Amino acid sequence: MVDFWASWCGPCRVENPNVVGAFNKYKDRNFTVLGVSLDDEERDGHKKWLAAIAKDHLTWTHVSDLKYWDNAVAKQYGIQAIPQNLLLDPSGKIVAKNIRGEDLQVKLAELIK
């Protein structure tokens, strides 16, 4: 799953425990998360981004170019609001978008047998 978020995004931070739960449940079953942060270097984003990763216990891989809404990956996928996520199958095909909360667990249970 590619998870678009930022340390300054309240709804993202509220959703993080759901992502942590899904990751912990399915990480040994061919599921992982790639966190793509839309934090901004000009707003001291690097420190806030790393602090949010630690505080929210986000133990998967994270990337950011610290360019806020000019983030290259977000632009590539047309991300204009966060939180957003893309659930990919092993071949890289998008199989679901913007599934959150319990819906994420339901979809993963359906896909990962």
pLDDT at 44: 74
pLDDT at 41: 84
pLDDT at 15: 97
Of the candidates 15, 32, 34, the one whose C-alpha atom is nearest the C-alpha of residue 102 is 15
pLDDT at 113: 79
Given CA atoms 99, 60, 49, 36 in this order, what sign does their dihedral have? negative
pLDDT averaged over 10-residue windows placed end to end, the chain, 113 residues: 97 97 96 96 85 98 95 94 96 95 94 87
Asked if CATH classification 3.50.50.60 holds for the domain at 2-111, the reply, yes or no, is no
Domain edges within the chain: 2-111
